[in-house]
Structures are given as structure tokens and as C-alpha cells.
Amino acid sequence: MKRTISVSPFEQFDSDFELEVCDYLRSKGFAVDTQVGCSGFRIDLGLKLPNSSDYVLAIECDGATYHSSKNARDRDRLRQEILERMGWKFYRIWSTDWFRNKSVEQLRLSEAAADAVKNPTKAEVKPVDSQPTETFEEVAVEKHFEFPAYKAVDFFEVCRRHHHSDFKAIVKEILEVEAPLSEDLFLKRIVWYFDREKVTSVVQRAYEQQMYGCQRYGIICRNGFLYLDNGKEIRFRGPGDIERDIKQIAPEELAAGMFEILKQNVTADRNGLYRSLATQCGVARVGKAINEAMDAALNVLVRDKSVVIDGDRISLE
């Protein structure tokens, strides 16, 4: 098959499931590209002939939400028909099957990939219109889940409204938007309030004095984070107005992110879940510090939600 398609220069994955399938194929020696574009359509994974730019198999990774989405099924059925006329072969994998019967699904995928490489399609790729058909455009596109971005409050503006007088009231107003908030990150942002340029022991003591009795304002200080005692559900937030180190994200917030990912996939491998959430945090590599933060978050998730851990497999009840 002639390569008349576009490939993103950066690795892009729509889900942790897709990333895991890609890693598995590459571990077996297959050449794979991600998010392959062809005549206005996108394919999750494109399998190539060894040492070649010719694609022999389109691999689609469908999550649990796909099953209940008629729009998504209609859209992808039409896309598959169009691309098959161009010479593509298709192989579809369901996330629920993959996570529940991984060894079986891996074997099937390996066999399909090996067969595609051994017996590549002979169909000649013919050009099609650069714009999808009108029928395709009328089908609603399924939205991919995205976490909200972190929104930071202008501390100086809040101080001005409070005339710099009631520090705890200032902090509470900020927490209405930013809780849970890392005290370490917060102090670095407001160090000027204490007439200093760096966070020192003097600044730390002054901050603690200002925060004395903060419980009366509904503020909770716990393990280096500030929370509001208002019963509001904690949500995970991706990179936004400010950059947060993994240690500056509360375990409860990371746990909320894990829960949302599991809701999309039902079941996930522990390493895959950690890697997926780390990507949402803007982290490229998962190391010791990341794993420790994720372990703490998983403990919170198991404590607060109906989650089952079976070895390295994590799933919703």
C-alpha cells in the first residue's frame, strides 16, 4: 500500500488503552505509527511493513463508551468502508476484552499483525476527495474526555479587595477556586506578602501564625495541602495557569483523576493507569516520585470509591 497519508511527528494517544496496545505491538517487533491521518480521517494505530513506509493494517482501539454510542459506531463504520476501498485492512480491539482477557487478545492481535505483514494487501490505493462525504459530516463526532485546566486566582487582586487585612479570609476566597492547594506552591506564589523574595523559615513561621485558627473559616490544613470543609467534590485538574509538580497535587485530586479514567475504561492495568494520569499531569516519564504519589492516590481511591484491585488490575465494582 502506498503511503499517501499523514502522520503526526509527535506520539499521540487518545487513551491509556491505546498506548498499551501500541507498546505491546512494538515489544513484539512490529513497526507502528500513532494517529495516522488519511483523507481527513484518523486511525488509532497504523501497522507498517518492516523497514518500509507502507501500511498494511489499521488498528482501532475502542473504549467502553464506544459500545453505547450509536453516533460513534455509525461514524466509524462509514470511515472503515471508505478506507477499505482505498486498500486498508482493519482490526478492531475492545478495551473491555483487552483488560479482561489480555493474554487471549494479545495473541489474536499478534496473529492478525503477523498475517498482515506476511500477506499485505494487493489493493491499489486510489486518491479520494480531500473532504469527507456529506453523510460522514452529518454524524456527530464522539467527544474525548478531557480534564479541566487548573485555574489560579490573582492573589494580589484578592488582597486588594480585602485591604490586605484578613489573611485567612483571603486564603478562603482563593481556596473556593483552587482547593485542594499545595501550601508549598502557595507560599512560593505569595512570598512577597511577607516582604521576602524566597520562602525561608521566617516566612514559614509568619505564614503559620497568620493561619492560626483557620478552622473557624472552614479551612483544613492536612499533609501540606489546604482544603475547604464545604463538602464540595474534589476534581482532578490538568496543567493550566500554573505548573504543578506531582508532589504539589493532592492525593485526593489524583485519586479523582484515576476514578475518571477508570470510568472511561472500566478496568486498567496499574502501570497503565499511572502512566495515563501522569500524562494528564504533563509528566513525560514515570519515575519513583511519580509512582509514590500515584500509590498514595490509589489508597485514597480504594478508601473512598468502589474500586477493586486484583494483582496489577484495577477495576470499578
Same domain, 239 and 258: no
Range of the domain at 269: 251-316
Query: Is position 210 within any domain?
Result: yes
- The separation between CA 200 and the C-alpha centre of its own chain, rounded to angstroms, equals 35
pLDDT band at 121; cut points 50, 70, 90: low
- For cell 497504523, the residue is 46
pLDDT band at 301; cut points 50, 70, 90: very high
Query: Is position 302 within any domain?
Result: yes
Q: How many domains does the chain have?
A: 3
In the predicted structure, residue 51 carries a pLDDT above the cut 80: yes
Q: Which three cell numbers stand for residue 259?
A: 476514578
Q: pLDDT tens digit string along 190-247?
A: 999 999 989 999 999 999 999 999 999 999 999 999 999 988 899 999 998 888 999 9
The C-alpha atoms of residue 224 and residue 222 are separated, in whole angstroms, by 6
Q: What pLDDT sits at residue 292? A: 93
Give the CATH number, domain containing residue 305.
1.10.10
Last residue of a domain, one of 113, 138, 163: 138
Amino acid at 70: K
Query: Is position 149 within any domain?
Result: no
Same domain, 234 and 264: no
Q: pLDDT tens digit string along 238-264?
A: 998 888 999 999 999 999 999 988 887
Return the bridge partners of 210, or none: none
Same domain, 13 and 114: yes
Last residue of a domain, one of 188, 213, 244: 244
Closest C-alpha among 313, 219, 224, 235 to residue 280: 235
Same domain, 97 and 72: yes
Last residue of a domain, one of 138, 167, 190: 138
Same domain, 197 and 266: no
SS3 100: helix
Give the CATH number, domain containing residue 118.
3.40.960.10
Q: Residue 195 carries which DSSP code?
A: T
- For cell 485558627, the residue is 213
The answer to whether 96 and 266 are in contact (CB under 8 A) is yes
Q: pLDDT tens digit string along 125-160?
A: 343 343 443 333 333 333 345 789 999 999 989 988
Same domain, 97 and 195: no
In the predicted structure, residue 65 carries a pLDDT above the cut 60: no
pLDDT band at 181; cut points 50, 70, 90: very high
Query: Is position 1 within any domain?
Result: no
Q: What pLDDT sits at residue 103? A: 85
Same domain, 168 and 233: yes
